[in-house]
Amino acid sequence: MRRPARPPRRATRAARLATVLTAALALLLAGCSPGGGGGRDDGRTVLRFLSLAWQKESVDANRELVAEWNAAHPDVQVALEQGSWDSVHDHLLTSFEGGEAPDVIHDASDDLADFAHGGHLADLRPLLSPRLRADIPPAAWAATTFGEGVYGVPFLQEPRVLIANRKILEASGVRMPTPERPWTWPEFRRIARDVTATMGEGRYAVAWPLKEPVSVSLNLGLSAGGRLFHRDGDGRAAVRFTEADAVMPGTVRAQVVDDRTAPRSTLGMGGSDTLPGFFGGRYAMVPLGFSYRQQIAQQAPEGFAWTVLPAPAGSGGLAQGVSPQTLSIAEDSEHKEEAARFIDFLLRPANMVRLAHGDWMLPTGTAALRAPSLRTPKDGWATGSALAAHLRPAPAQSVRGYPEWKDKVATPAYQEYYSGAIDAAELEARLVGDGNRVLARYQR
Beta bridge partners of residue 184, listed in sequence order: 313
Q: Give the separation between CA 190 and CA 247, rounded to whole angstroms.
A: 14
Query: β-strand 44-51 against 76-82: which pairing, if any?
Result: parallel
pLDDT of residue 38: 56
pLDDT of residue 41: 57
Alpha carbon of 384 to those of 307, 311, 369, 381: distances in Å?
12, 10, 10, 5
**Cut 0.85: pTM above it:** yes
pLDDT of residue 400: 81
pLDDT block averages, 10 residues each, the chain of length 444 = 40 42 41 44 87 92 97 97 92 93 96 91 97 96 93 97 97 96 98 97 97 95 94 85 96 98 97 97 98 95 97 96 97 97 98 97 98 97 97 86 92 97 97 95 82
Q: At 347, phi and psi to the nearest 5?
A: -110, 25
- Which candidate, 216, 210, 211, 207, places its Cα nearest to that of 277? 207
pLDDT of residue 3: 44
Helix (H) or strand (E) holding 137: none
pLDDT of residue 396: 83
Q: Is 248 exposed, middle or buried (0-12, 13-18, 19+ CB in 10 A)?
A: buried
Q: Give the separation between CA 312 and CA 301, rounded to whole angstroms.
A: 27
